């Protein structure tokens, strides 16, 4: 959150609107991710030291700085010889809590942490409305394979996004699957987010009426069918986060001891 002052000057700190953060928001969620891996400052500390507004200000300044840097790259592409033969993909690796659900940074399975900016532009791709279908970063490579006319790689888990690039309202045959720390998974369809933790605890949110994920519907039997449909996508045989030593490549370079 350190960028040149000119990007801070774009915003009036006193008029910045802080994220809505009702204190009751965590009352209906399991404790699994509420206190897990709080490497970032806790929301309690942010409020205690009165730096919430300043941190949101720094985040806005940082995004404007990045936006300008992207503009420099695109200006270079525009002035070079390959602008008519280049596909541009802009994405982020994770979202970012700014106090929502009393959390900061990432490391959760909620929308704020797992939704990322994702744009594709280039020859034959018409700019237009955003696609509301959930997609995955696993889709980047198969999409580029498709757009470049390369042989399909059947082993890839992602899907080509060409149908959505041609028509932003096109449906999608599978939801997005997100995993964080071993055994914890989220399934994001067009209208729903379902979370299942390693111990079986659950969360369910209807994004048509609850985009901020305030109301956990997992315990409501009226939504059991929705849960069953989304549970089908939970990984059944997830790869371990780290291979046992016996399975690691013996020819891999060894780290030097200090």
* 213-238: pLDDT as tens digits: 999 999 999 999 999 999 999 998 87
Domain for residue 3, yes or no? yes
252 pLDDT band (50/70/90 cuts)?
low
182 pLDDT band (50/70/90 cuts)?
confident
Provide the pairing of β-strand 97-98 with 118-121: unpaired
Domain for residue 163, yes or no? no
70 pLDDT band (50/70/90 cuts)?
very high
Tell me what percent of the residues of the chain surpass a pLDDT of 70: 92
CA atoms within 13 A on the CB side of 225: 1
What pLDDT is stored for residue 160 in this prediction? 95
Domain for residue 178, yes or no? no
Domain for residue 201, yes or no? no
Separation of alpha carbons 83 and 78, rounded Å: 5
Domain for residue 177, yes or no? no
Domain for residue 63, yes or no? yes
What pLDDT is stored for residue 113 in this prediction? 94
Nearest to 228 by CA among 199, 187, 170: 187
What pLDDT is stored for residue 217 in this prediction? 97
CA Rg value for the chain: 21
Task: In the chain, count H helices and then E strands.
Answer: 7, 8
What pLDDT is stored for residue 203 in this prediction? 97
- Look at 250 and 56; give whichever has higher pLDDT: 56
Separation of alpha carbons 144 and 150, rounded Å: 8
The residues near 90 (Cβ < 8 Å, ≥ 6 apart) are 70, 117, 118, 119, 120
Mean pLDDT of 100-119: 93
Judged against a pLDDT cut of 60, whether residue 125 lies above it is answered with yes
Number of structural domains, the chain?
1
Q: 7-21, 171-185, 215-229, 237-251: which range is least confident on average?
A: 237-251
Separation of alpha carbons 156 and 5, rounded Å: 44
Instruction: Dump pLDDT digits (tens) for 25-49.
Output: 889 998 877 656 566 788 889 999 9
154 pLDDT band (50/70/90 cuts)?
confident
- Look at 239 and 76; give whichever has higher pLDDT: 76
Domain boundaries, position 21: 1-126
Separation of alpha carbons 80 and 73, rounded Å: 11
Domain for residue 222, yes or no? no
Domain for residue 143, yes or no? no
Centre a 10 Å sphere on the Cβ of residue 162 and count the other Cβ atoms it contains: 16
């Amino acid at each position: 959150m350190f960028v040149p002052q000119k990007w801070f000057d774009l915003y009036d700190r006193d008029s910045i609107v802080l994220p809505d953060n009702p204190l009751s928001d965590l009352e209906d969620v399991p404790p699994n991710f509420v206190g897990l891996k709080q490497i970032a400052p806790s929301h309690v500390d942010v409020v205690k030291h009165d730096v919430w507004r300043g941190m949101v200000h720094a985040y806005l300044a940082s995004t404007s700085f990045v936006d300008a840097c992207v503009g420099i790259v695109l200006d270079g592409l525009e002035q070079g010889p390959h602008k008519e033969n280049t596909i541009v993909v802009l994405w982020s690796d994770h979202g970012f809590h700014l106090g929502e659900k009393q959390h900061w940074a990432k490391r959760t399975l909620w929308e704020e942490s797992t939704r990322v900016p994702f744009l594709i532009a280039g020859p034959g791709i018409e700019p237009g409305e955003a696609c509301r279908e959930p997609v995955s970063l696993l889709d980047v490579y198969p999409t580029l394979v498709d757009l470049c006319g390369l042989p399909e790689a059947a082993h890839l888990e992602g899907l080509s996004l060409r149908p959505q690039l041609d028509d932003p309202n096109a449906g999608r045959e599978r939801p997005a699957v997100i995993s964080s720390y071993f055994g914890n998974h989220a399934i994001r369809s067009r209208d729903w987010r379902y979370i299942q933790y390693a111990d079986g605890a659950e969360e369910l949110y209807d994004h048509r009426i609850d985009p901020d994920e305030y109301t956990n519907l997992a315990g409501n039997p009226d939504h059991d069918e929705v849960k069953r449909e989304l549970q089908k996508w939970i990984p059944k045989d997830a790869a371990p986060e780290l291979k046992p030593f016996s399975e690691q490549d013996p020819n891999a370079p060894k780290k030097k001891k200090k």
